[in-house]
Structure 1
Amino acid sequence: MGATMVKPLVKNGNILDALPSQGTLHVVMLGLDSAGKTTALYRLKFDQYLNTVPTIGFNCEKVQGTIGKAKGVHFLVWDVGGQEKLRPLWRSYTRCTDGILFVIDSVDAERMEEAKMELMRTAKCPDNQGVPVLILANKQDLPNACGAKELEKLLGLNELHNYATPPNKSVLNSCSSSSSNSNLINGSVSNQSITESSLSVHIKPNLSDQSDEKNTSAFLQYDTHKYKDSGEESTKKCFQNIKQDNYNKTASNTTFRGWYIQPTCAITGEGLQEGLDALYDMILKRRKLNKSHKNRR
């Protein structure tokens, strides 16, 4: 999704605002067409929903992290069109980038294999080896959206392990991630309505030790009179989200893999800032690993 053929970087006649400042991280946002890339970009930029049209070309915006380690950090995000004819251009944007945001339509099971193929092609490109990949599992507000664990299998993310870490395994093992920031993926959701929507959810953070179904009402609040799904299916969906949250927390405390799954809803912005924080954490860990690797030579 997107806006115009090439979105101008200059706004209000101030060209300086368009130039990357010192310390700005360069990130490319990829994914199949209609995955919600541009919606996510402008939600991050303006913190509001903007109606978009398919991107023919690219959009570029500087966004800022607002939570966790990424708070105050600037990211120059290049959102590249996802139509099949544009995908050969992705390689030009990923070269020398600090991180890759790959947006997935969590509901579109029919195109999951296609998304996997493009993700693997991008991540395994020689120019991109070692570049952290954040998978934004978009459209989590919709019924039947795949959870993080399911997406890991469908996208074959275990295949990326050897491509996203330095070749020196001793360095990798000595730099295992023991992140003290438990809010990388905390599952907190604002009580913001989704365009005439649907679902109002509030999940309390730190649910890793509370997964029994008897505790559902303590964690989840549903606007059931608006939600079209049945109550039973709604409850099932809620528990999928809780398990997904717990899965990501466990994953964040394991050895650096170079990829991370963040459940999101681009329309409301839920999970996007958490995603930037997770990406920034991976970038820092990659730099630390590279530095350690160089020092051991």
Structure 2
Amino acid sequence: FFPRIQVKKKKPPSQVILMGLDSAGKTTLLTRLLTGQVMMDTSPTVGFNVGSFDVDKRTSLTVWDVGGQKSMRPNWRFYLDECKALVFMVDSSDPSRMPEAQKALKKVLSEERLRDIPLMVLANKVDQPGAMTVQEISNQLGLSNYPHLRWEIQACSALKGIGLRQAFTSVAKLIKKN
């Protein structure tokens, strides 16, 4: 007679879509999360990059980093099918692109498939001089215009690794609450 031991199995990874304008730092962030390495030279993502990592002992995320150039944005909707959370990254050191980012975010959030999907906004490059605050970015993106949406915003630096683990721990919590 052997006592039964309950082993908590890890669930299959949840799909997370990482979107944002070109040069926001999405590929740098994904590389940093997957390898811990700093990626100094990136070229524009054509299509997507994808990788999975463990947030904790029972939670894994598969992150799809989707190209952000203007020509790629009409294709964003094709990545939403199994999406459990949307991570939208902005370059907080480039206020001139916030109206464009706001328009891109509004368009993707209009997709029916994202109706009940939580949103994490990452304000990247906060370590740069003159970077906008998360409050300024929240206002510029019009996040308060989405009362039905569960969203969070966090400052980070993909290059320095600041705030990344915390952000994706929060993403995992948002998914669990869903």
TM-score by length of 1: 0.55
**Per residue, is there more strand in 1 or in 2?**
2
Contact kept in structure 2, 1:95 and 1:128, CA below 8 Å:
no
Match of 1:29 among 18, 22, 45: 18
2:53 counterpart residue number: 63
Match of 1:48 in 2: 37
Distance 1:49 1:72, change over 3 A: farther
Matched residue type, 2:172? Y
- Deviation for aligned residue 1:22: 4.2
| Partner-residue secondary structure (3-state), 1:61 | strand
Q: 1:47 to 1:160 in 2, by over 3 A?
A: same
Quote how far apart the aligned CAs of 1:96 are.
2.8
Q: Which runs of 4+ in 1 moved over 4 A?
A: none
Whose relative contact order is higher, 1 or 2, with alpha carbons under 8 Å and at least 6 apart?
2
Q: How does 1:167-186 map to 2 (within 5 A)?
A: none
TM-score by length of 2: 0.90
Give, in angstroms, the shift of residue 150 of structure 1. 1.1
Contact 1:104 1:135 in 2 (8 A): yes
Aligned-partner Cα distance in 2 for 1:72–1:273: 15
Q: Distance in 1 between matches of 2:91 and 2:34?
A: 21
Q: After TM superposition, list the pairs within 5 Å mapping 1:184-263 onto structure 2.
A: 258-263=150-155
d(CA) in 2 for partners of 1:71 and 1:108?
37
The count of residues paired between Structure 1 and Structure 2 equals: 168
Match of 2:88 in 1: 102
Could you say what secondary structure the match of 1:275 adopts? helix
Pick one of 131, 144, 147 that aligns with 2:117. 131
Indicate the RMSD between aligned Cα atoms, in angstroms. 1.3
Deviation at 1:95, TM superposition (A): 2.2
Provide Cα deviations, 1:89-131, integer angstroms capped at 9, x if missing partner: 1001022311111110001111100001111111221111110
- Higher helix fraction: Structure 1 or Structure 2? 1
Alignment identity in percent? 38
Residue type of the alignment partner of 2:68: G
| 1:88 and 2:74 are equivalent in the alignment | yes
Once residues 284 and 27 of structure 1 are traced to their aligned partners in structure 2, the CA distance between those partners, rounded to angstroms, is 13
Runs of 5+ unmatched residues, structure 1: 1-20, 165-257, 287-297
